[in-house]
Amino acid sequence: MFSNQHEVIDMQRQIEHPSQADSSAPRADERGLLLEEVNFKWLLAGMGLWIDMGRFHSEPSYAARFLALAEASDSPALHKCAASLQGKKESPCQ
């Protein structure tokens, strides 16, 4: 019951203060990047490889190693995902 009341209060706040609701929501490109990273992580897990996404973001050599493994795999889905992430990591906006 409490969670439903909490959701109603949050919805009411968004209606009363739409600018606050918009500023806290992730942008579409951030959501897309997050989904791509989750996809990458699970595709690697399917191959028996576990990746620490914190290190992936903070250590370029760690990220490069996993991107290279993905590109060398037999999975077209993993190739596509790795290429997309590589492009976003090299983007000047990131």
What do you get for the CA distance between the two ends of the chain, in Å?
41
Cα(90)–Cα(94) distance, rounded to whole angstroms? 7
pLDDT tens string 56-91: 999 999 999 999 999 999 999 999 999 998 887 665
The domain tally of the chain equals 1
Q: Could you tell me the pTM of the whole model? A: 0.64
Cα(56)–Cα(45) distance, rounded to whole angstroms? 15
Is residue 9 a part of any domain in this protein? no
Is residue 7 a part of any domain in this protein? no
Task: Give me the domain span that covers residue 33.
Answer: 29-90
pLDDT, residue 92, reads 43
Cα(4)–Cα(80) distance, rounded to whole angstroms? 40
Is residue 4 a part of any domain in this protein? no
Percent of the chain with pLDDT over 90: 50
Higher pLDDT, residue 10 or 63: 63
Higher pLDDT, residue 40 or 90: 40
Is residue 67 a part of any domain in this protein? yes
48 secondary structure, DSSP code: T
Is residue 13 a part of any domain in this protein? no
pLDDT, residue 88, reads 76
Q: Is the pLDDT of residue 94 over 50?
A: no
What is the average pLDDT score of the chain?
79
Cα(18)–Cα(91) distance, rounded to whole angstroms? 31
Is residue 57 a part of any domain in this protein? yes
